[in-house]
Each structure stands twice: as structure tokens, then as C-alpha cells.
Structure 1
Amino acid sequence: MNKNSYNKIVEQWQEVRDTAEINTPILEFAKKLPHHSQVLDIGCGTGKPIAAFLASKEFYVTGIDVAEKMIEKALEFHLDNSEFINIDFQHFETPKKFDGIIAWDSLFHLPKEAQLDVYDKIADLLKPNGYFMFTHGTIDIEHTNPMFGENFYYSSLEKNKVLQLIHKAGMELIKTWENFKEGKDERDWIVLARKAL
């Protein structure tokens, strides 16, 4: 459902995201990364604003997205230090290890049962001391909602369950933002974690 829906709204999505600001949590994430870090952007969309911002900081960005139309748009920008791949994160494999991984508004599109394993996969992709930032809901829920006239699937695990899974995967909690509001940005929960050495 989500792949088809995102392909259908790519023009509206680009219009909104092209003018979106980089918020404080993302700035904090970027400041923690070493110079020339390898960064994975899960659910990168058109590459703006997050992948473009990270690339401007001279990080090497790998953006992945399940919707091929989003990736086509991202490639049109010819961003420096970046590559974009059309793939579902559940099928993404690479020998590369990342200094940072960001999943902004993407994990909640995964089937709920897949979310039980996602943190182990994230930890495996991170270098020791690598950082992981993601957005998430705070309650156990599964539903569909419309956006730009198309339906999208969303789900989340309960907050304490997510924290347990992070710890089990060998990551430590660094900071969270709950009921985050900044400008036009609103998120239920933003999490910054770090893989143990």
C-alpha cells in the first residue's frame, strides 16, 4: 500500500519537503557524527531536506526508499556524496557499516511484526559508537490514514517495548523528545540512541 501511495503523491511530497526546515534533533544527530561519516537514511523520500543537509555537511549518504518515484526525484538533484537506492529496508543488505543511521518517519510504515527485528538489523549496520535517530509512536497501534488523498499504513509498538528492543540490540538511549513541536514540525516521539563499543 505505502509504496503505491508514495509513488502517487511524489509531486505533492516534494513540494512540502523541499521547503521543510532541519530541526534541532537532526542538527544534534549531525553534530555527533565524525567528519566524513557514512550515513544511512532509511525512507529518504526525494532526498530533501534530510539527505541533502547531511550531504552538505560532507557526510557520505546512502538513501533508501521503497517508492521508485521518490528515488527518481532524489537522483534528479545530483547531490554530492550521495547514492540513492530503491529498496525496502527489510530487504536491504550491504557489507558497509555506518557511523549514523536516521529513520525519519519511516519505521512506522513497517509491519508491526517486522518492528520486533528492526533494531537488531540497525545495530548490525552501525559501527561501534554509531548513532541511530528515529521517529516513532508511543503506543501500540496499527491503522491506516490518508495523506494527499491516498491511504497509508502505520503501526507502532508501545514505547517501553521499543526501549527494551533498543537495549537488547546493544544500543544505549542518549536522548528522547516526546510531543516534539518546532515550527511546522510535530512528532510524537524522537529517539537518539548509540551502539555500544
Structure 2
Amino acid sequence: MIDDTSNGYEAVADAFVAARSGSTTGLAIIRQWAASLPAGGTVIDIGCGSGEPVTAALLDAGLTVSALDASPALVEAFRRRFPDVEVACEPAERSRFFGRRFDGAVAVGLMFLLPEHAQRTLIGNVAGALKPGGRFLFTAPRQVCAWDDVLTGRRSASLGAEEYVRILDEAGLHLVAEHVDEGENHYFEARKRAARSG
């Protein structure tokens, strides 16, 4: 059996694209976050899906976007929609993020799909891919909980705010804000500490 690194989303790619296309849920938060980044700054959209609506909003904000997703079908849909945006088909927790550093990283609807160890790995890797002062925005329920994903039926799990803050801190990131959108999705916004001198 082939290992499905897309956490079940390859099999439901069409349904996912249909659900996200035209969605405006969370866009106000994405736009506000995008405005906090340097003008024309670089952002990596982790778990980009087809690019709607997050990548589209980041591009509209004048940012330079790179993207990745583990589902070949979703990456193909992304390429059709955004042919000029670089995108890689690979699992987020194994990505080298194009071997570059970014002003920002965003992961909407992804973190809780991963096993606990992969969530920890991803946060550490994102920290390494951010420039000093870079910002990371991701969604996960604030409470510790587990549930079955609506589209895939697979188990999802949130480590909870206290644990996410601890993992962020260990990775050199500090929580600067939390947000809740109109769909009651919870966002953690963190910033990478500046490099210490001396």
C-alpha cells in the first residue's frame, strides 16, 4: 500500500476544491495578517490546496508567494489557477521550503491533520524558514481535542493553546495574537524572535 502523505486529501481533492472555491471565511484575518508583512514580502503557503482563498488573498496584498501541498491533484489545481506561482508537491513536515527564508508562513486547515510529532516538526521547520521578525499564522482549535475530519473521515487532533505556545517558544517563536473567524476557526499568530547579538 502506498503511503498517502496528503492525509487523505488526494482522494477527496475535487470535493475540497469545491468547498473552498468562493469561500470568504477567514479572509479578513488573512488580509490583516498580510498587511503586517513588509511590502512585497515573501510568504510560503503551507498546505495551499488549490490556492483559494488564501494564496489569492496573499497575492492580492502584493506579496510574493511560494506554496506547497502533499496532494498531487490539489497541486495540479493550484498550477492551473496560479501558473506563475512556484509550488511544490511534498508533505509539509518534510519540506525544505525551497531552501529559502521567508517574511511569513501561513498554514490554514493543515496543522491538526498531522500526527502530533509531525505538528512539532513542522513548527520547528517553519521557524527555521522564517527571517528574524518573520510571522507565522496557523489554524488549530484552542482546546485540546480530537475529531474525525469531515471530508476524509481521518482523525484530526489539536494539541491545545498551551502546548502550541510551548512548542512555538522552543522553536524561537512567540505568540503575538490569536484570532477567531466567522466560521469559528481559531488562528495562532506568532513572530520569530530577532537574532541575539553578542
TM-score between both structures, scaled by the size of structure 1: 0.87
Indicate whether 1:6 and 2:5 are aligned: no
| Contact 1:66-1:89 at 8 Å conserved across structures | yes
Q: Which residue is equivalent to 2:153?
A: 151
Give the one of 123, 138, 143 matched to 1:119.
Answer: 123
Give the counterpart letter for 1:11 in structure 2: D
Greater mean alpha carbon deviation, residues 31-40 or residues 107-116:
107-116
Give the one of 115, 139, 144 matched to 1:135.
Answer: 139
Give the CA deviation at 1:4: 6.5
Indicate whether 1:103 and 2:107 are aligned: yes
Q: Which residue is equivalent to 1:162?
A: 164
Q: How does 1:41-56 map to 2 (within 5 A)?
A: 41-56=45-60
**Aligned in 2, Cα 1:40/1:9: closer, same or farther, shift over 3 Å?**
same
Q: Distance in 1 between matches of 2:6 and 2:99?
A: 26
Give the CA deviation at 1:12: 2.1
Q: Distance in 2 between matches of 1:12 and 1:63?
A: 20
Indicate whether 1:85 and 2:82 are aligned: no
Question: CA-to-partner distance for each residue in 1:59-94, whole Å, 9 max, x for gaps?
Answer: 1111111111000000011354x2111100121113
Give the counterpart letter for 1:153 in structure 2: R
Greater mean alpha carbon deviation, residues 42-51 or residues 18-27:
18-27
Q: How does 1:157-196 map to 2 (within 5 A)?
A: 157-177=159-179, 180-182=180-182, 185-187=183-185, 189-196=186-193
Give the CA deviation at 1:142: 4.0
Structure 2: 5+ residue stretches without partners: none
Q: Which has the higher strand share?
A: 1
Q: Distance in 2 between matches of 1:181 and 1:38?
A: 24
Structure 1: 5+ residue stretches without partners: none
Greater mean alpha carbon deviation, residues 3-12 or residues 98-107:
3-12
Please state whether the residue corresponding to 1:34 is helix, strand or coil: coil
Q: Distance in 2 between matches of 1:181 and 1:97?
A: 28
Question: CA-to-partner distance for each residue in 1:127-183, whole Å, 9 max, x for gaps?
Answer: 011110000122334443332xx3233122122111111112111211112xx242x
Greater mean alpha carbon deviation, residues 91-100 or residues 18-27:
18-27
Give the CA deviation at 1:109: 1.1
Give the counterpart letter for 2:177 in structure 1: K
Give the counterpart letter for 1:20 in structure 2: S
Question: Between Structure 1 and Structure 2, how many residues are aligned?
Answer: 189
**Aligned in 2, Cα 1:29/1:122: closer, same or farther, shift over 3 Å?**
same
Indicate whether 1:27 and 2:25 are aligned: no
